Chain A
Amino acid sequence: MTVIKASNLTKTYNPDKIPVRALRGVDLAIEKGEFTAIVGPSGSGKTTLLNIIGGLDRPTAGEVEVGGKDISQLSDNQLIDFRKDNIGFVFQSYNLIPVLTAKENVEFVMVLQNRPKAERDKRAESLLTAVGIAEKMDKRPSELSGGQQQRVAVARALASKPAFILADEPTANLDSESTAGLLDMMATMNKEENITFVFSTHDQRVIDRARRVVTLVDGKIVSDERR
């Protein structure tokens, strides 16, 4: 099943002044259960691509379908609701709300979805257990290491039961041990729960763990290999 289908995506920043063509005709389809790395040198368009397929930015031309639905026609509020219910985000860092505990951060998206308290509690606890930091549940982000924070971010991204998870360089600010730990956890989730991950990176050790590697150079896909 295709969860994301991007066709002929073009993104030009500053079209009026000095135009920057960040994406030049990208076609990409992501299947359910894939574990995909978007790789490429800095400035190649990875973030731009993830933002557009995540509904955070609009393409200059081209189309994005998520779960068969064209998201380019959605209004601002519809797009926000769409992100809430369909996409889990993990950003480079500072993902979490500083005044909420790890568990409350995970619960938060479910609060936005108006899920009942009992369900939120249960799901937040089981997700935090799954990402391996059950014992840090009641700590605030400032009391957690970078790696632990990213684990909470993954748990939060999963809380809304999204169609897939987008992670833009989730390990960029982590040491190698935490990087390996986070990747292990994500790979396990992918294998055992069939969760679809799309993440960008330029770290070779992370690339090595991916099962599909899409390489971008100057806003174009130059290779796409499954292994």
Chain B
Amino acid sequence: MILQLAWRNIWRNKRRTLITISAIAFAVFLASFMRSFQKGIWDSVIDGAVNQFYGYAQVHADGYWDDQTIDNSMELDAQLNALPQSVDLVADVVPRIESFALASSGDLTSGVFVLGIDPVKENAMTQIADKIIAGSYLTPTDEAVVVASGVAKKLGLALNDTIILISQGYHGVNAAGKYPIKGIFEFGIPDLNKRLLLLPIKAAETFYGAEGRATTLILKINDRNDVPMAIAATTQQLPNEKYEVLEWQELMPELVEARLLDEAGGYIIIGILYLLITFAIFGTILMMTKERSYEFGVLTAIGMRRRKLFGVIWLETIIVAMLGAIVGILMSIPIVYYLHINPIPAAAMGADAAEAFEKFGISGDLPTAFDKSTFFIQALIIFLITSLLAIYPWTTIMNLKPIEAMRG
């Protein structure tokens, strides 16, 4: 009967209840949508950076990340190469020699970011071969390079032109070499597109005088959720005075920071939205409590304990609030899901936005994140707001004097 009482009380003032439910539903809808959209964009950005370049985790010689020189490279030994066998969650390891060189062609000179890669493994991870726009991709035994289109432009390079690389190799040896341009690719991360040059890791070892070494070993992990476990297992396997294992957040702190900053802006907007809703809910609770004080007086007079009476009122407000939250979630699910399956093209966000996205390496689609927890959190927020506001009827009921309440 208590539940029945609460349910009927809710519909005593249909109009007010419906307005309250709609207001809550609207806020939950907007908040779910905004969060899913923002989360979706950033997930794309991070996945883009992870899949195109960084990977979810990397192994280096200890200290390499703070001082990224070829002298801090590591020997690519059997233990490292066996990681896919010794750690379940690591699907493969992708070695690189990452360093710098001065590149020149004719009288043009420019600094380039040299990536010595295993052409097969690298392509399996980043699909870099698909980005070749002229010429062809590398094979492991090539003594040739492919360059990003930005580099080609800067140095006036065409296919089969020769590029001269000069650098300092392992332990200070002189590094110099002459390579033909086998291909030109278009890289998704604009900053790297201006500087990137790839050559087979064998050729890079020779160039830098670093036989059998690598600066970087990317751990290929198939599911983002497995990353912490995979890192823990890898760290266990390797002697930790010799190696460092970094995860993607550490590999691209600027991106993580940019995300936090951007999301903070979103949280502020959602916070304001919920603040408005807090006032709306409070208004309803206030009116409901005030207009029923006579009734509360009668109920305590005839023997209803205050806690029980409060329980009924709390139930009423929670039911209204949760109805609002559920309606809001049900409204947002189809839209969020639709945009998850049929993402908005980045270009549709306007030229400025598209350009900004491109900086982070996303030029394609922007799917919303369809994540149960996003919806659940909105319902939880509404629940907490309402429970907090229930302090008002609580104090009213606890301090109620039946005869005064009934005198009106």
Q: Which residues of A contact B (CB under 8 A)?
A: 51, 54, 56-57, 76-77, 80-81, 83-85, 89, 91, 94-95, 97-100, 104, 107-109, 111-112, 156-157, 160
Q: Using A51-B403, A94-B294 as known contacts, say yes or no to A83 and B302 having CB atoms under 8 A apart.
A: yes
A–B pairs, 15, beta carbons within 8 Å = A76-B306, A77-B305, A77-B306, A80-B304, A80-B306, A83-B302, A84-B304, A98-B12, A98-B295, A99-B5, A99-B8, A111-B2, A112-B303, A156-B302, A160-B303
| A109 contacts B9, C-beta separation under 8 Å | no
Q: Using A51-B403, A94-B298 as known contacts, say yes or no to A99 and B305 having CB atoms under 8 A apart.
A: no
Chain A contacts for B303, CB-based, 8 A: 80-81, 83-85, 109, 112, 160
Closest 9 CB pairs of A and B: A84-B303, A99-B8, A83-B303, A111-B1, A56-B403, A80-B305, A51-B403, A56-B402, A112-B303
| B305 contacts A97, C-beta separation under 8 Å | no
Chain B contacts for A157, CB-based, 8 A: 302
Rounded to whole angstroms, the CA-CA distance of A57 and B403 in the bound complex is 8
Given contacts A83-B301, A89-B301, A91-B298, 4 further A-B contacts (CB under 8 A): A84-B304, A85-B303, A97-B295, A109-B302
Nearest A residue (CB) for B2:
A111
Chain A contacts for B304, CB-based, 8 A: 80, 84, 112
Closest CB-CB distance, A210 to chain B, in whole Å?
24
C-beta contact mask, B293-325 vs A, less than 8 Å → 1, else 0? Answer: 011001111111110100000000000000000
Q: Using A104-B1, A107-B1 as known contacts, say yes or no to A56 and B301 having CB atoms under 8 A apart.
A: yes
Chain B contacts for A100, CB-based, 8 A: 5, 8
- Chain B binding surface, main DSSP class: helix
Q: Which of B374-408 touch A at CB < 8 Å?
A: 402-403, 406
Rounded to whole angstroms, the CA-CA distance of A53 and B29 in the bound complex is 55
Q: Using A98-B12, A99-B8 as known contacts, say yes or no to A89 and B1 having CB atoms under 8 A apart.
A: no
Closest CB-CB distance, B7 to chain A, in whole Å?
9
Closest CB-CB distance, A100 to chain B, in whole Å?
7
Residue among B1, B2, B12, B295 with most chain A CB within 10 A = B1
Chain A contacts for B4, CB-based, 8 A: 104
Rounded to whole angstroms, the CA-CA distance of A83 and B297 in the bound complex is 13
Chain B contacts for A112, CB-based, 8 A: 302-304, 308
| A80 contacts B294, C-beta separation under 8 Å | no
Chain A contacts for B402, CB-based, 8 A: 56
Residue among B12, B303, B403, B406 with most chain A CB within 10 A = B303
Rounded to whole angstroms, the CA-CA distance of A41 and B294 in the bound complex is 25
Rounded to whole angstroms, the CA-CA distance of A91 and B8 in the bound complex is 24
Rounded to whole angstroms, the CA-CA distance of A147 and B218 in the bound complex is 86
Chain A contacts for B2, CB-based, 8 A: 111
Chain B contacts for A85, CB-based, 8 A: 303
| B299 contacts A97, C-beta separation under 8 Å | yes
| B5 contacts A97, C-beta separation under 8 Å | yes
Rounded to whole angstroms, the CA-CA distance of A98 and B295 in the bound complex is 9
Rounded to whole angstroms, the CA-CA distance of A100 and B2 in the bound complex is 11
| B298 contacts A108, C-beta separation under 8 Å | no
Chain B contacts for A84, CB-based, 8 A: 302-304
Q: Which of A51, A89, A99, A104 contacts B302 (CB 8 A)?
A: A89
Nearest B residue (CB) for A120:
B1
Chain B contacts for A160, CB-based, 8 A: 303
Nearest A residue (CB) for B408:
A94
Q: Using A97-B5, A99-B9 as known contacts, say yes or no to A91 and B305 having CB atoms under 8 A apart.
A: no
Nearest A residue (CB) for B309:
A80
Q: Using A56-B403, A112-B304 as known contacts, say yes or no to A95 and B298 having CB atoms under 8 A apart.
A: yes
Closest CB-CB distance, A48 to chain B, in whole Å?
9
Chain A contacts for B298, CB-based, 8 A: 91, 94-95, 97
Rounded to whole angstroms, the CA-CA distance of A156 and B294 in the bound complex is 18
| A99 contacts B301, C-beta separation under 8 Å | no
Chain A contacts for B301, CB-based, 8 A: 54, 56, 83, 89, 91
Rounded to whole angstroms, the CA-CA distance of A210 and B32 in the bound complex is 68
Rounded to whole angstroms, the CA-CA distance of A95 and B295 in the bound complex is 8
Q: Which of B310-369 touch A at CB < 8 Å?
A: none
| A80 contacts B300, C-beta separation under 8 Å | yes
Q: Which of B198-254 touch A at CB < 8 Å?
A: none
Nearest B residue (CB) for A85:
B303
Closest CB-CB distance, A23 to chain B, in whole Å?
14
Nearest A residue (CB) for B1:
A111
Rounded to whole angstroms, the CA-CA distance of A54 and B402 in the bound complex is 12
Chain A contacts for B305, CB-based, 8 A: 77, 80-81
Closest CB-CB distance, B167 to chain A, in whole Å?
84
Rounded to whole angstroms, the CA-CA distance of A111 and B5 in the bound complex is 12
Closest CB-CB distance, A114 to chain B, in whole Å?
11
Rounded to whole angstroms, the CA-CA distance of A94 and B293 in the bound complex is 12
Nearest B residue (CB) for A92:
B406
Nearest B residue (CB) for A94:
B294
Rounded to whole angstroms, the CA-CA distance of A85 and B8 in the bound complex is 26
Rounded to whole angstroms, the CA-CA distance of A57 and B303 in the bound complex is 14
Chain B contacts for A156, CB-based, 8 A: 302
